[in-house]
């Protein structure tokens, strides 16, 4: 197939037919801002912020980079005066229906609208008017929806429909009254929402926010550690967000089996237990007469275990011991456990909970 030749801000690039301007720009490292776009899905095109100027054969037109395909000879301008004016206009409009008390917003510091307004120097709206005033939906235990902070980019809706395949939410009402909502305006909690939180992760503003965010601000996260979810065998990849040596949240990663998505267990049910008060912190030895446990040192506990096992082995033979591994633990742990059984117990009485 023959290639099309276009330039992006003067940088030439060859692309296949059907390549969007956004994709072409990405190839040459030109960053075009987006709000509604989700890579891999059909363009939504609702936010219009990726508007660029396309010059060809003496004519100039504006179009959205997420949806417009490159044509032979296009000279695409991503930061021309007309482009900046259009983007400022869009931000101006969005800001006319968006509160600017960012200090009290859970997404302060990681809000794309905030970032773009800063970048384009839009400090306040030039056309103030009526602002949405709808009740906040606090019904889901994991997250909150504040429609008044919503810019209707539909990332949540597209995520829920096309990626999660759940379809719990959609746009309701029309015109200025449009709002994202579960069916018939029912509370989030009562809908068919599966609480996977992928919509929350997709939200560019503070409209959908995790309630756990009250425990930390984005800039307080000291490190993000890429790891594998410990629940089912899909093996989703995600980051553990660590603040003060505690895991405070989870962020999906682009793993081969999960592609930036997570389920409710992975996103919300995979770290509280780490810091649970119920965690065992010391070896415990049971007094057989009372049935009570007492704390013990590692030396004492390990010596006791080794000597008891040795004694059983001596008295009843190698076959009298067994060791079960945990199919929730790591390969390395399991390998060492079966090695222990085979080398020290002297038998193959080892198994795991694959069957149960």
Residue 104 beta carbon to other proteins: minimum distance, rounded to whole angstroms = 23
Residue 122 beta carbon to other proteins: minimum distance, rounded to whole angstroms = 13
Query: In this chain, which of 154, 182, 203, 206 binds other proteins, going by CB under 8 A?
Result: 154
196 binds other proteins (CB under 8 A): yes
292 binds other proteins (CB under 8 A): no
Q: How many residues bind other proteins (CB under 8 A)?
A: 151
- Of 109, 114, 183, 178, the residue nearest 147 (C-alpha): 178
Helix (H) or strand (E) holding 327: none
Stretch that binds other proteins, among 1-9, 23-31, 103-111, 318-326 (CB under 8 A): 318-326
Beta strand 4-8 with 75-77 is: parallel
Query: In this chain, which of 84, 102, 186, 337 binds other proteins, going by CB under 8 A?
Result: 337
Helix 112-119 × helix 81-96 angle, to 10°: 130
66 binds other proteins (CB under 8 A): yes
DSSP class of 193: -
| Radius of gyration, alpha carbons of the chain | 28
Query: In this chain, which of 84, 102, 221, 334 binds other proteins, going by CB under 8 A?
Result: 334
Residue placing its CB nearer to other proteins in the complex, 102 or 334: 334
Query: In this chain, which of 58, 103, 177, 219 binds other proteins, going by CB under 8 A?
Result: 177
Query: In this chain, which of 141, 215, 220, 314 binds other proteins, going by CB under 8 A?
Result: 141
102 binds other proteins (CB under 8 A): no
Stretch that binds other proteins, among 4-12, 104-112, 199-207, 246-254 (CB under 8 A): 246-254
Give dist(CA 317, CA 310) in Å, integer: 10
Q: Which two tokens stand for residue 22?
A: 């956004």
Residue placing its CB nearer to other proteins in the complex, 30 or 157: 157
In contact, 66 and 39? CB cutoff 8 Å: no
Q: How many CA atoms lie within 13 A of 205 on its CB side?
A: 27
- Residue 218: count of CB within 10 angstroms of its CB: 14
* Residues between 6 and 25 that touch other proteins (CB under 8 A): none
Q: Determine the straight-line distance between the first and last CA of the chain, rounded to whole angstroms.
A: 54
The dihedral built from the CA positions of residue 353, 194, 187 and 109, taken in this order, carries a sign that is: positive
In contact, 196 and 166? CB cutoff 8 Å: yes
Over 259-275, what HEC string results? CCCCCHHHHHCCCHHHH
Residue 21 beta carbon to other proteins: minimum distance, rounded to whole angstroms = 12
26 binds other proteins (CB under 8 A): no
Give dist(CA 224, CA 312) in Å, integer: 47
- Of 12, 26, 23, the residue nearest 73 (C-alpha): 12
Residue 326 beta carbon to other proteins: minimum distance, rounded to whole angstroms = 3
Query: In this chain, which of 257, 289, 290, 314 binds other proteins, going by CB under 8 A?
Result: 257
Query: In this chain, which of 99, 187, 218, 346 binds other proteins, going by CB under 8 A?
Result: 346
Give dist(CA 268, CA 211) in Å, integer: 10
* Residues between 80 and 99 that touch other proteins (CB under 8 A): 86, 89-90, 93-94, 96-97
Residue 57 beta carbon to other proteins: minimum distance, rounded to whole angstroms = 19
User: ∠ CA(105), CA(107), CA(110), 5° rounding?
Assistant: 140
Residue placing its CB nearer to other proteins in the complex, 11 or 312: 312
* Residues between 214 and 243 that touch other proteins (CB under 8 A): 223, 225-237, 240, 242
190 binds other proteins (CB under 8 A): no
Residue 32 beta carbon to other proteins: minimum distance, rounded to whole angstroms = 15
């Amino acid at each position: 197939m023959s290639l099309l030749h276009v330039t992006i801000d003067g940088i030439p690039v060859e692309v296949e037919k059907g390549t969007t301007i956004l994709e072409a720009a990405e190839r040459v490292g030109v960053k075009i801002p987006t709000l509604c776009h989700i890579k891999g899905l059909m363009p939504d095109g609702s936010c219009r912020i990726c508007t660029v100027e396309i010059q060809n054969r003496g004519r100039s037109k504006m179009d959205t980079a997420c949806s417009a395909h490159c044509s032979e000879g296009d000279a695409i301008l991503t930061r021309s005066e007309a482009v900046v004016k259009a983007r400022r206009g869009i931000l101006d409009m969005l800001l006319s229906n968006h509160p600017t008390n960012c200090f009290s917003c859970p997404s302060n510091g990681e809000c794309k609208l905030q970032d773009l307004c800063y970048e384009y120097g839009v400090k306040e709206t030039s056309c103030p008017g009526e602002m949405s005033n709808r009740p906040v939906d606090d019904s889901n235990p994991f997250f909150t929806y504040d429609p008044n902070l919503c810019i209707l980019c539909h990332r949540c809706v597209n995520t829920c429909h096309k990626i999660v395949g759940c379809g719990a939410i959609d746009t309701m009402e029309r015109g200025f009254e449009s709002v994202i909502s579960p069916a018939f305006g029912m509370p989030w909690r009562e809908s068919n929402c599966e609480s996977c939180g992928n919509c929350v992760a997709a939200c560019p503003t503070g409209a959908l926010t995790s309630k756990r965010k009250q425990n930390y601000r984005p800039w307080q996260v000291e490190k993000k550690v890429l790891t594998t979810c410990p629940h089912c065998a899909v093996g989703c990849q995600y980051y553990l967000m660590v603040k003060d040596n505690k895991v405070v949240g989870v962020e999906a990663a682009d793993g081969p089996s999960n592609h930036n998505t997570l389920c409710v267990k992975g996103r919300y049910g995979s770290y509280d237990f780490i810091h649970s008060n119920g965690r065992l912190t010391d070896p415990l030895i049971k007094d057989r007469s009372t049935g009570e446990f007492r704390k013990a040192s590692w030396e004492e506990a390990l010596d006791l275990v080794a000597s008891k096992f040795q004694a059983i082995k001596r008295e009843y033979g190698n076959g009298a011991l067994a060791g079960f591994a945990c199919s929730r633990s790591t390969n390395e742990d399991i390998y060492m456990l079966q090695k222990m059984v085979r080398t020290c117990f002297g038998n193959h009485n080892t198994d795991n909970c694959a069957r149960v």
